[in-house]
Every structure is written in C-alpha cells, then in structure tokens.
Amino acid sequence: MDKMTLRRMEYYGYHGVFEEERKLGQRFYVDLELELDLRQAGLSDDLTQTVNYAEVHKLLKSIVEQKSFQLIEALAEHIASAVLDTYTRVDALTVRVTKPHPPFDIHFDGVTVEMYRSRK
C-alpha cells in the first residue's frame, strides 16, 4: 500500500486533564500517515486522484484548535475518525499526537500517543 505522510504539523490547542491546560492552551504536534492507492495520481498528475494534504491540514487544525479534550488519546481518536469519514480514498492511517510540554516536574521531550485505524 502507498503512503502519504504529514509530519510535525503544529497547532495550538486547549487539551489536558488540568484546568490550566484547557484555559491557557499549549502547542501540540500531529503526525499523520495515510495509507491509500497513489498510482492514479502519480500517473495522471491529477489532484482529484489523491488526498489534498492542504485540506487535511485544515481539517486537523479545526479539530485541534477548536475542540477540547482531556486526553490526547481522545484527540487522536477524533482525528482518526474525522480523516476516515472525510477521505474515502484513505484505507488506513496512523496518527501520532505529541504534547511537547506536559505539566510535570521532570524534564523530557513530551508525551506521544500513536493509533492505527483502518476501515476493516
């Protein structure tokens, strides 16, 4: 299966268990790997034969920046469902949501959840 990958899309969202996170907001990174047949797009050079990644970005921006979830697991699940519902060409996907600065007293590069979802 062919793949289209959108890496480290950065959004500002209001997600978290703590009230301060949902009030002040913070940065989130989203990686999305779409599994779909890209043969016709490659042969025809026709945007209608693929998924427009600019539109995918706009969809994800609206989800991350306009909705609020306590868990990044819920955010990732919502992203996966929305992409599969919107883009019928996508057979499966992997979504990764990273919270680079969770509110802990320890230093690390953040926390990431990763989900694989398919139409099957």
Per-residue pLDDT of 92-118, as tens digits, reads 999 999 999 887 777 778 899 999 999
Domain that holds residue 29: 3-118
The Cα–Cα gap between 100 and 112 comes to: 8
Residue 3: active-site member: no
Query: What does the pLDDT read at residue 92?
Result: 98
The catalytic position among 3, 58, 61, 99 is: 99
The amino acid at 99: K
Name the stretches of the chain with pLDDT < 50: none
The Cα–Cα gap between 101 and 29 comes to: 11
CATH number assigned to the domain comprising residue 75: 3.30.1130.10
The Cα–Cα gap between 22 and 14 comes to: 4
Exposure class string for 6-29: b at 16+ Cβ within 10 A, else e = beebebebbbbeeeebbeebbebb
The Cα–Cα gap between 72 and 77 comes to: 8
Query: What does the pLDDT read at residue 105?
Result: 75
Query: What does the pLDDT read at residue 26?
Result: 94
The number of folded domains in the chain is 1
- Please say whether the beta carbons of 17 and 63 come within 8 A: no
